[in-house]
Structure 1
Amino acid sequence: MLVIGQIDYANVYPIFHQLNKHKEYRFVKGVPSYLNTALREGVIDLSPCSSIEYAKSFEDYILIPGISISSTEKVKSVMLYSEVPIEDLKGRKVFLTGESGTSVVLFRILVNEMYGFQPEFTDQPEGAEAKVLIGDKALFELYNGQNKYVYDLCTLWNAFTGLPFVFALWIARKDAVRAKRAEFEMFAGQLDEIKKDSKSNLAALLDHYSMKGLTSYQIIDYWETMDYSLSDRHVQGLLRFYSYAKKYGAIKEIPPINFFV
């Protein structure tokens, strides 16, 4: 039986709503940082995980082709909320969520490359003048928070590079693939079909899903911003991210992009 990590956020619900119907798999829910660790330690066989996780342990991993969690111009759930403009954050404390792997690195890259400084980061929200949030917390804050300055990190990345940003990849452990190859082949085919159909009737998903603080329209609008593809242009954006991540010491080397076939 394949053991599959499930990001416990709204962004991937259109995929997992269908995947969860497959009783031949076991699902383990968690935030991205938890699933990154679970995959690295072999607790799960595969998962949508932070794209930075692949680069950190690529020798042990292989990617499911054609699928990601990405966005082209805005994502709405990887956000900087601040009391001052982003260019004035130099010397000020910025809270970084512990739920993320990729987004924290992305923020470090953006402030250094676009604004030329490194803020003072903290893992304690008290006393911070800005905060980087991801997932459902970021989405709730977008529509319900009282923040003076709001920045979508995907929008900043697109303005900086002109490329989409790949927040998560579907990553499998190589040893699990060797042990369960037939199951992986079946899963990859099912996942591809689910991805193709994932946005065909988003309104129907609202019969099964709701989020406190968001209207039905806001939830559907959010799902429509999600990009589950992984084209050559996405890979180009991913490799650009990895090059900056290496520059700032987040990874040791730029990994080869290897797909399960």
Structure 2
Amino acid sequence: MTTDAPAVATAPIRLGVVSFVNTLPLIDGLEDLDGLALKHSVPSLLVDQLLAGEVDIALCSSIDYQRSREELLILPVGMLGCDGPTLTVRLYSTTPLAEITDVYCDTDSHTSVALLRILLRERLGIDPAVHDYNAREHTADHKPLDWPDAMLLIGDKVVTDSPPAIRYPHQLDLGAAWQEWTGLPFVFAVWMARATIDRERLMLAASLLDRQRRHNVERIDRMVHHRAVPRDWPADLAADYLKQKLRYELDDRAIAGLELFYDEAKKHGLIETRRPARIMS
């Protein structure tokens, strides 16, 4: 008498994701798909979790592709980007921008800080001192700091914890500034995997991510009312943001913008080496 060997369960593909409203078209519904497990974090932490093997694929800050100690692979199945104003990556200043000497930068994103430094040097000819700023807790160097004189803020906080407009008469939308300067989209985050990932699992994940993104962009109104409004976003603002401001397809123009960003980051000493963007094929 023989018995069949028990089936070996395949471990789920672990995805590192960001829970901002702007990622909804990329991640909403993934938690319901078989074979996937989501780990929520902030953009600046995801690459370390990827390299540590805590996740298999992550929606990483785009500059971290260059700063990674290991070679990574970019999955062309979605991005978080813009082709003009982005609304939620924003510099606030109490003084004219050209007079900024210090800027406190939201620690949630590495890419936004690098982009800010490039734009300030190239467009305004200034190189202010950059300080880490915990924009959630309103602290710097473990001390309370409510609204600094100059501050870079990213993500939902721009809307749900909006700085007082009367204090900040001078503002810069980094997405708009990049597009005006280069004529290209800007890519803030992309799906990345370690180059050593199992090919079969990579292809499966890529297929699921691509399909879910395509499905989600057709149901943004539903996401606005069920996901964004409960997070204190006005429905009309969230709809305009997700439909008009942001871009989610990593097309040829977006890749050109990404490559140019890497060129500028190397030129300005923000990365040590300049790897070509290795896109999964």
TM-score, length basis structure 2: 0.85
Which residue, 160, 164, 169 being the options, matches 2:181? 160
The structure carrying a bigger helix percent of its residues is 1
Q: What SS does the corresponding residue of 1:74 show, helix, strand or coil? A: coil
Instruction: Name the CA distance, whole Å, in 1 between partners of 2:224 and 2:250.
Output: 26
Amino acid at match of 1:234: A
Which segment drifts farther, 115-124 or 143-152?
143-152
Amino acid at match of 2:203: E
Instruction: Classify 1:206/1:166 alpha carbon distance in 2 versus 1 (closer, same or farther; 3 Å).
Output: closer
Q: Does the 8 A contact of 2:88 with 2:153 survive in 1? A: yes
Deviation of 1:191 after TM superposition, in Å, equals 1.4
Which residue, 21, 34, 40 being the options, matches 1:10? 21
Which segment drifts farther, 127-136 or 53-62?
53-62
Instruction: Name the CA distance, whole Å, in 1 between partners of 2:241 and 2:180.
Output: 20
Q: Does the 8 A contact of 1:65 with 1:260 survive in 2? A: yes
Q: Which of structures 1 and 2 has the bigger CA Rg? A: 2
Instruction: Name the CA distance, whole Å, in 2 between partners of 1:230 and 1:48.
Output: 13
Instruction: Classify 1:49/1:94 alpha carbon distance in 2 versus 1 (closer, same or farther; 3 Å).
Output: same
Partner of 2:241: 222
Runs of 4+ with deviation above 6 angstroms: none
Partner of 2:112: 103
TM-score, length basis structure 1: 0.91
Partner of 1:64: 75
Instruction: Say whether 1:112 aligns with 2:121.
Output: yes
Q: Does the 8 A contact of 1:42 with 1:173 survive in 2? A: no
- Structure 1 residues not aligned, in runs of 5+: none
Q: Does the 8 A contact of 1:144 with 1:213 survive in 2? A: no
- Structure 2 residues not aligned, in runs of 5+: 1-11, 133-139
Q: Does the 8 A contact of 2:26 with 2:213 survive in 1? A: yes
CA RMSD in angstroms comes to: 1.9
Amino acid at match of 1:188: A
Amino acid at match of 2:59: P
Partner of 1:195: 213
Instruction: Name the CA distance, whole Å, in 1 between partners of 2:164 and 2:82.
Output: 22
Q: What SS does the corresponding residue of 1:206 show, helix, strand or coil? A: helix
Instruction: Classify 1:206/1:215 alpha carbon distance in 2 versus 1 (closer, same or farther; 3 Å).
Output: same
Which segment drifts farther, 149-158 or 58-67?
58-67
Instruction: Say whether 1:252 aligns with 2:272.
Output: yes
Q: Does the 8 A contact of 1:69 with 1:226 survive in 2? A: yes
Deviation of 1:98 after TM superposition, in Å, equals 1.0
Matches within 5 A, 1:79-98: 79-89=90-100, 91=101, 93-98=102-107
Q: Across the two proteins, how many residue pairs are aligned to each other? A: 256
Instruction: Name the CA distance, whole Å, in 2 between partners of 1:191 and 1:154.
Output: 25
Q: What SS does the corresponding residue of 1:192 show, helix, strand or coil? A: helix
